[in-house]
Amino acid sequence: MSPIEIEAAARAEGETRNELEKDLYALLLLYFEKASKAALLGYVKDATPTVPERLIEALEGVLRSHGAKVGETFGLSDLNESLFPQWLDERAKESSQQISATTQKNVIAAIVLATKELVEAAEDSSRRSVARAAYAQVSRTFKSRAETGAITETTASSESSKFHTAEAATLHKKTWVTMNDGIVRATHVLANMQEVDFDATFTVGGYQMRFPADYSLGAPVKEIIHCRCMAIYTEGRK
């Protein structure tokens, strides 16, 4: 594949990913609403603002289902003959825990701020009043968090499915490609069009990554979150 062909393939993949992201975005918005309200209800009842385990498990199911759909769309050979299903199980569990922990943390921060503001204003600072004010604050983050989550999880699943099926499809080279739209982080811009053998790793921001959104080799969150890059696999020589 020529550089022009690789960039064209990346654009086509990006358009498909955008459509898949919309579905998860809507589901994450709903989750943030339910989880935040549930945590605030716990605060009102007994001052325990926690996200219920049932909602965390439900989110895990949502992420697993979305990842499977993304994998079926982008996999380069039989997914069931690869390690992708195992990767997806681990990813869905870990991401659901992380997303829920952040949601709970945000709710607690909103409670603290709402309490402070109500007390300073000499207004009703009962738990119920605090909960209402806290929800108004935390709900402002829902859209941006849902967008980030939808992009990050879709990228991770699409790139993992390609990586775990590329070798069986006899594709032995991979090229890192960015969206090249002016809002790509600097470290990823520098990695654009970096070509390596399938078994090798990309060097991105000084970290080693098997594919975009891969943190298995130690890449930090700052190189993963909201990543829209992709790897394009080609035959090359093994």
pLDDT digits (tens, 9 = 90+) for 7-17: 999 999 999 99
Closest CA to 166 of 109, 223, 220, 235: 235
pLDDT at residue 237, as a whole number: 57
The pLDDT confidence band at residue 92, using thresholds 50, 70 and 90, is very high
Containing domain of residue 114, as a range? 3-170
Look up residue 160 and give its two tokens. 């993992």
pLDDT at residue 169, as a whole number: 86
Look up residue 228 and give its two tokens. 């829209």
Under 8 Å between Cβ of 197 and 236: yes
Task: Mean pLDDT check: name the lowest of 110-114, 133-137, 139-143, 163-167.
Answer: 163-167
Q: Which residues contact 171 (CB under 8 A, 6 or more apart)?
A: 76, 198, 233, 234, 235, 236
Residue 128 lies in a domain: yes
Residue 209 lies in a domain: no
pLDDT at residue 3, as a whole number: 87
pLDDT at residue 151, as a whole number: 98
E strand residue ranges, 113-177 = 173-177
Alpha-carbon span 102 to 164, nearest angstrom: 29
Alpha-carbon span 100 to 167, nearest angstrom: 35
pTM greater than the 0.85 cutoff? yes
Percent of the chain whose predicted confidence (pLDDT) is above 70 = 99
pLDDT at residue 144, as a whole number: 98
The DSSP symbol for 126 reads S
Summarize pLDDT for 53-90 with one digit per residue, the tens: 999 999 999 999 999 999 999 999 899 899 999 999 99
Residue 41 lies in a domain: yes
Split into its structural domains, the chain has a count of 1
Summarize pLDDT for 18-38 with one digit per residue, the tens: 999 999 999 999 999 999 999
Look up residue 106 and give its two tokens. 């945000």
Summarize pLDDT for 219-229 with one digit per residue, the tens: 999 999 999 99
Closest CA to 226 of 142, 164, 106, 146: 146
Residue 19 lies in a domain: yes
C-alpha to C-alpha distances, 182 to 105, 171, 231, 234, nearest whole angstrom: 32, 30, 19, 26
Give me the helix-helix angle, 84-120 and 127-138, nearest 10°: 130
Alpha-carbon span 150 to 148, nearest angstrom: 6
Closest CA to 110 of 225, 32, 29: 32
Give backbone dihedrals phi and psi of 93, rounded to 5 degrees, phi first. Answer: -65, -50
Q: Which residues contact 188 (CB under 8 A, 6 or more apart)?
A: 176, 178, 204, 205, 223, 227, 229
Residue 32 lies in a domain: yes
Residue 124 lies in a domain: yes
If DSSP codes are grouped into helix, strand and coil, which group holds residue 193?
coil
Summarize pLDDT for 183-220 with one digit per residue, the tens: 999 999 999 999 999 999 999 999 999 999 999 999 99
DSSP element (H, E) containing 121: none
Give me the helix-helix angle, 3-46 and 142-166, nearest 10°: 130
Residue 219 lies in a domain: no
- Mean pLDDT (the chain, rounded): 96
Beta bridge partners of 234: 173
Give mean pLDDT, residues 141-163. 98
Is residue 238's pLDDT more than 90? no
Residue 50 lies in a domain: yes
Summarize pLDDT for 158-183 with one digit per residue, the tens: 999 999 999 888 898 999 999 989 89
